[in-house]
Amino acid sequence: MGNKNKDHRRQGLVIDYRELGTISISELGHAVFEDVQSLKDIYHCHYVKGARLWLPITNEYGDELDVKRQDGRRIFRMDTHHFRPACKDYDL
């Protein structure tokens, strides 16, 4: 039996950038930064967990491109290189 009281709404927040059309990575970075600042300042959101960013990579005309490693293999997923000390995951 399923849990009838469980809320089936999607948890979290989707920020939609489709209306911007084809833009540069730099411009997208600025837009994401401004939106995150708005979440902090206006909506008082200060933490996230398990966030993901999906980017449909294109050229300047909107034609889809493959992202490839230096050896020519395609990549579909990239883990962040942002450093965060593990001690921040625990209440000390």
Buried/exposed code over 18-47 (b: 16+ C-beta within 10 A; e: otherwise): eeeeeeeeeeeeeeeeeeeeeeeeeeeeee
Contacts of 23 by beta carbon, 8 Å cutoff, 6+ apart: 17, 31
Residue 80 above 90 pLDDT?
no
Taken as a whole, the chain contains a residue count of 92
Q: Cα–chain-centroid distance for residue 5?
A: 30
41-72 pLDDT tens trace: 999 999 998 888 999 999 999 999 999 999 99
Read off the pTM.
0.72
The model's pLDDT over 1-39, given as tens digits with 9 standing for 90+, comes to: 555 555 556 688 999 999 999 999 999 999 999 999 999
Evaluated on CA atoms 22, 27, 31, 32, the torsion sign reads: positive
In sequence order, what E strands does 1-92 have?
none
26, two tokens = 């730099």
pLDDT of residue 81: 79
Residue labelled with tokens 């921040």: 88
